[in-house]
Amino acid sequence: MKYMSILLGLLALSAWGQNLNEERIWKLVPRKKSVYLAHGIFHLNQGGAAAITSLRSSYVPSLGYERVVVDFQGGGVPRVYGHIDGTAHKLSIDFFDTTVSPQIAALKNTRHVKGVDFLAIDAKQVTMEMHLKGKSNFDVFYLENPGRLVIDIRP
């Protein structure tokens, strides 16, 4: 009976998890694609150890999107796994073999971003949760030398 209740509990928790059969999955590339997605999963399986050193944003009305950049120090861009949750207006990104600087300043004067939280899962993994002001679409890519993860956001 004890095992049955544990099994039922695990099944109930999985109901709120990601359904990989219904999500679009794409691999990050080192250039802007101008393909904006409202939901889905993205990943980058290459990369080494890195440290998140800063977070910055800018908005240029003529371009029509807000750009958020995560800057890294170390071996370029680390391994990344991200999930765009369009219904919860949230972007979650896991950075592997990564640390985060305690001096990262909060984003100010953002057009689409309500707030960003960094959660240290353990000594080698950091999750960044970006909460948005409303429905948003994303183009995510990376740049090297120096390593940066670029997130373009538009309504």
11-46 residue pLDDT tens: 444 444 555 556 679 999 999 998 999 999 999 998
154 closest CA partner among 70, 38, 57: 38
Nearest to 151 by CA among 48, 45, 28: 28
Token look-up 């050193």 returns 53
Q: Which domains does the chain have, with CATH numbers?
A: 22-154 (2.60.40.3500)
Q: Specify the pLDDT at position 17.
A: 52
Which residues are registered as beta bridge partners of 97? none
Nearest one of 120, 125, 113, 118 to 81, comparing CA atoms: 125
Phi, psi (degrees; rounded to nearest 5) at 134: -170, -165
pTM, full prediction? 0.84
Alpha-carbon distance of 125 to 51, in angstroms, equals 10
Beta sheet of 125-132, edge-to-edge order: 25-27, 40-44, 80-85, 90-96, 125-132, 113-122
* pLDDT of the residue at 75: 74
Nearby residues of 154 by Cβ (< 8 Å), 6 or more positions away = 36, 64, 65, 66, 112, 136, 137
Alpha carbons 38 and 24: distance in angstroms, whole number: 10
Could you report the per-residue pLDDT of 68-93, keeping only the tens digit for each? Answer: 999 999 878 999 999 999 999 999 99
Q: Which two tokens mark 92?
A: 């979650």
The pLDDT value recorded for residue 102 is 87
